[in-house]
Amino acid sequence: MSFEITHLNSGGDRESQSVRQADALPLLSKIERLGGTNIQVRSANGQRWTAAQARAQLI
């Protein structure tokens, strides 16, 4: 399954990245560590989650 992760970077620009399931948790952690905000995750089947909800789903 793939996911699209969208967030605001530390400069306030919106960034979006598509990743495989295995790469989603490491990317979420990296975005949070680098100060990304307003993180939203959308799965291939259309489900939308906040970063915390996605983390719970992916663990």
Q: What is the mean pLDDT of the chain?
A: 93
pTM of the predicted model, to two decimals?
0.87
Query: Which residue is listed with tokens 């993180």?
Result: 39
* Average pLDDT rounded to a whole number, residues 23-52: 94
The pLDDT value given to residue 36: 92
Instruction: Burial-class residue 4 by CB neighbours within 10 Å (0-12, 13-18, 19+).
Output: middle
Rounded-to-integer distance, Cα 13 and Cα 23, Å? 22
- Whether the Cβ atoms of residue 20 and residue 2 lie closer than 8 Å to each other: yes
The pLDDT value given to residue 10: 84
* Average pLDDT rounded to a whole number, residues 25-46: 94
The pLDDT value given to residue 27: 95
